[in-house]
Amino acid sequence: MINLKKLSKLNKNFYTRDVNIVAKNLLGKIFVHHIGLKKLSGIIVEVEAYDGSIDKAAHTFIGKTKRNEIMFEQGGFFYVYFTYGTHFCCNIVTGKKDEGTAVLIRGIEPLEGIEIMFNNRFGLNKFLKNKKFDLTNGPGKICQAFEINKSHCGIDLTGNEIYLLENKKIKEKEIVTTTRIGIKKSIDLPWRYYLKDNPHVSKK
């Protein structure tokens, strides 16, 4: 079991780099959400990069709006949006101010608060082995399990409510690179990254 107390919080310098560099470096990092006395955490295992300067699938491709304005801040903020009228998706804003880039969190391997996540996702107050890999293997599932909604949009990730912790560096050979999924624009960009052989990835 990873001792989270010994891990340091990621600082602004981590987030203010190129979106694809940050995306790859997010793999293996620990995502943490404090909710009162509750603490939910997990290892990021799958991500997708979005860059509004060249990427038609990015929310920022159309320019700044009320919905996407947080994506135009400097890296290190949390961008949450509602999609398909059914679920929330959470993103890590990257780069410098006005660049309009972010990384979608697509897969997490749960660490702490698994029983709470099961209750949030399935209305169950106990762990069921057959549902273990369906818990956080998708962006909507992650937000439901981690109790993330639109009220969390704009949170500074260097604060104490939602933040990321440093963890062991993932080797390049452990990362699989593919085109993104679930989109209809800029579908050829190879900007999806996930940990090879990890069972918590949304789609192999």
Domains of the chain: 6-195 (3.10.300.10)
pTM to 2 decimals?
A: 0.96
pLDDT below 70 — which residues of the chain? none
Continuous H helices in the chain: 12-15, 19-26, 114-122, 139-145
Q: Give the per-residue pLDDT at 84.
A: 77
Q: Give the per-residue pLDDT at 131.
A: 86
Q: Give the per-residue pLDDT at 31.
A: 98
Q: Give the per-residue pLDDT at 119.
A: 94
CB neighbour class for 35 (10 Å; exposed up to 12, middle 13-18, buried from 19): middle
